[in-house]
Structure 1
Amino acid sequence: MADRTYRAAPPDALRVEPLGDLTLIFDRRSTQTHIVVSPMPEILAAMGADGCNAAAVAARLAAAFDLGDVDGAQALVAERLVELAELGLVVPV
């Protein structure tokens, strides 16, 4: 399966509030609040404004958090990107 490219919601569309181990993400466009845990907020932050795929996000997270296994992280990130798309927080491009 190809590594699909996604684009994160514009930063001004989301209000991200950490709350202990949970993070609340209010989507101003849909007026829905999503309750997520790590690594969802970190993935959104690593995506930036450009469209990117799981490999790019995994590489950015690996650099930011000094992860050793980028290939294993890529599979996890790909799964989380699908979940973020289902929530409407990222869109496939």
Structure 2
Amino acid sequence: MDATRYRAPPAADLIVTPLDDIVALFHRTSGMTHLVASPVPEVLQVLAGRWMAIAEIEAAFDIVEGGRAELIALLDGLAVTGLIERA
């Protein structure tokens, strides 16, 4: 199992507002608003408040296309924005 794990803030730390095909996420901790599209909201929901490894995230849903490398790239990008943590 991969040692890298990811965690999103608890659902209560994000204000989620759907806007047609995109979603506005207000991150209470940083005070920043992010505009995202699917599968970001779904990934954040799966990771809300808990640490998960890549294999666990893959098993949780099948919405990320492009396989494991694409999923890791998405998660690492979310970590750069501060929407999730990586350990």
Per the normalisation by structure 1, the TM-score is: 0.79
Structure of higher RCO (CA pairs closer than 8 Å, 6+ residues apart)? 2
Q: Does the CA-based 8 Å contact 2:7-2:47 persist in structure 1?
A: yes
Q: CA deviation at 1:73?
A: 3.4
Corresponding residue for 1:36?
A: 36
CA distance in 1, matches of 2:68, 2:56: 8
| Structure 2 residues without counterparts, runs of 5 or longer | none
1:85 to 73, 79, 87: 79
Q: Does the CA-based 8 Å contact 2:14-2:25 persist in structure 1?
A: yes
Change (3 A) 1:37 1:50: same
CA distance in 1, matches of 2:21, 2:47: 21
For 1:77, give the aligned amino acid: L
Per the normalisation by structure 2, the TM-score is: 0.83
Percent identity (aligned): 34
Aligned length: 86
Q: CA deviation at 1:3?
A: 5.5
13-22 or 72-81, which deviates more: 72-81
CA distance in 1, matches of 2:83, 2:13: 9
* Structure 1 residues 1-40: aligned runs within 5 Å: 2=2, 4-40=4-40
CA distance in 2, matches of 1:21, 1:55: 28
**Structure 1 residue ranges, 4+ long, deviating more than 3 angstroms after superposition:** none
Q: Which has the larger helix fraction?
A: 1
